[in-house]
Amino acid sequence: MSTSPRIKGVMAAGLTAFNDDLSVDIDLTLDHTRWLLDSGCDGVLLFGTTGEANSLSVAERLAFLDKLGASDLPKDKLMIGTGCCALPDTVALTKASLDIGIEHVLMLPPFYYKNPSDEGLFTHFSRTFEAIGSDAMKVYLYHFPQMSAVPFSHELIARMLKEFPNTVCGVKDSSGDFENMKAMAEKFPGFDVFAGTERYLLDVLKAGGVGTITATGNVTVGGCAKVFSAWKAGSADAEALQDQLTRERLTLQNYPAAAALKELLAKNSGKASWRNVRAPFMPLPADKAASLVSELDAVNFALPAKAA
């Protein structure tokens, strides 16, 4: 049984860097992860949607985990996206994560077959947990119905918490539905609700949630950290800081996430390879890149200190 604390607060859904041949640039990805932690993140999710996880093979992800395990990154501050359509793939990735000392894992539902029953989803997860056979893992459910088309109902969450109270620890709610986030925080005490957008960071904290796991945190990490720190301190500044953070998020969400964030990192770091994405994603065109910077300037967004 694990005794390490759960991650709470500000988490970036980290980007995956690619070389010019579109192979994974593991070293740059690890450097970026380190920079995010140094810049104010309480944790970093790897292999989420913005990390282009579903454009990576299981073999690529396993190779990455091998090198991550040998790195000096603090494993108790990392979360790995391990949920796949095929149960054996989820098991293999989760076991590999646990083997290198990372206990926090984010699991998508099996998302190819649409309209599965709650019974079918419960059976999938219960068999997955049984096959992994670990008391140490901390599982977070990835609720992103716009992408997966397979939501987690409150009834299913309640059943999973009853059957697996020491395994199912929380949720990343990327639905954009604050009322759902609030309802889960109220219904399920001790179930760690993360907003999938920093737009609702302060609201989720007030509702009893624990923080945010956000794609745009790759560049808004400083502002996210300021909001979380102000909230913890009970500072009246929290509202104004959240207002600024929300303006930044609303500007960024007008652009394709991975391409826009990588464009900003390329400009900030001087590494053109940050612009590399795997199809069907495409790099941000030059005119869109210019308008992104202009719109961010208009809301007084300051690029973070030079990134990795």
- Other beta carbons within 10 angstroms of residue 279's beta carbon come to 7
By CB neighbour count within 10 A (0-12 exposed, 13-18 middle, 19+ buried), where does 291 fall?
Answer: middle
pTM of the model: 0.96
For residues 187 and 173, the answer to whether their CB atoms sit within 8 Å is no
Query: Cβ(173)–Cβ(180) under 8 Å?
Result: yes
pLDDT of residue 4: 81
Question: For the stretch 141-161, what's the b/e string if a residue is b when 16 or more beta carbons lie within 10 angstroms of its beta carbon?
Answer: bbbbbeebebbbeeebbebbb
Averaged pLDDT for residues 262-271: 95
**How many residues does the structure list for the chain?**
308
Q: Is the pLDDT of residue 303 over 90?
A: no
In contact, 16 and 262? CB cutoff 8 Å: no
Q: Mean pLDDT throughout 256-268?
A: 96
Residue boundaries of the structural domains of the chain: 9-235
Predicted confidence at residue 302, as pLDDT, reads 84
Mean predicted confidence (pLDDT) in 281-298:
97
CA atoms within 13 A of residue 35's CA, in its CB half-sphere: 20
pLDDT value for 278:
98
Please say whether the beta carbons of 80 and 47 come within 8 A: yes
Q: How confident is the model at residue 97 (pLDDT cuts 50, 70, 90)?
A: very high
Question: Residues of the chain with pLDDT > 70: what percent?
Answer: 98
Determine the average pLDDT of the residues in 18-47.
97
Q: Phi first, then psi: give them for residue 211, nearest 5 degrees.
A: 155, -150
> 9-235 adopts what CATH topology?
TIM Barrel (3.20.20)
Is the model more confident about 117 or about 1? Answer: 117
Residues taking part in catalysis: 49, 112, 142, 172
> Picking from 126-130, 147-151, 154-158, which range would have the lowest pLDDT averaged per residue?
147-151
- Tokens standing for residue 123: 């059976």
Q: Residue 134 has which token pair? A: 């670990």
> In the structure encoding, which two tokens stand for residue 209, read together?
């949630």
How confident is the model over 151-205, as pLDDT tens digits? 999 999 999 999 999 999 999 999 999 999 999 999 999 999 999 999 999 999 9
Region at 137 (left for phi over 0; alpha for psi -120 to 50; beta for the rest)? beta
Transcribe 157-188 into DSSP letters: HHHHHHH-TTTEEEEEE-S--HHHHHHHHHHS
CB within 8 Å of 208: residues ≥ 6 apart: 185, 186, 189, 193
Q: Mean pLDDT score of the chain, rounded to an integer?
A: 96
CA-to-CA distance for 35 and 157, rounded, in angstroms? 34
